[in-house]
Amino acid sequence: MANTANTANTQTPAPKAESFDRSSVTRTFARLKHEVGGLVDDAGRTRPFYAASKEEAIAKRDAALKVLDELAQRIDTLKKEGN
């Protein structure tokens, strides 16, 4: 009679997939939201905190949104590479 407990132990375990900590992604998006939100709020002020004029605050807000859009397009391109 074969001992099934011994035969089960002789098999090698499957390699574990590398785990990824998603909390770093969450922190990055929270920081982006905070930073861009500050620029959006500043552009709405008559006397901005982070710019010398309202026009400059609006330009900074628009530049930040442009950078985020370019980043999203770049990430989309990365996903499609090699397919």
Q: What is the pLDDT of residues 34-79, one digit of tens each?
A: 999 999 999 999 999 999 999 999 999 999 999 999 999 999 999 9
Mean pLDDT confidence for 10-24: 80
Instruction: With residue 56 as reference, give the H or E element that holds it.
Output: helix 54-80
pLDDT surpasses 70 at 8 = no
Q: Give which of 31, 50, 52 is closest to 41, Cα–Cα.
A: 50
- The CA-to-CA distance between both ends of the chain, in Å, stands at 52
- What's the pLDDT score for residue 83? 75
Pick the more confident residue, 16 or 6.
16
CA angle 52, 55, 57 (to 5 degrees): 60
Model-wide pTM > 0.75 = no
Q: What's phi and psi for 17, nearest 5 deg?
A: -70, 145
Detail the DSSP E strand segments found in 26-78.
none
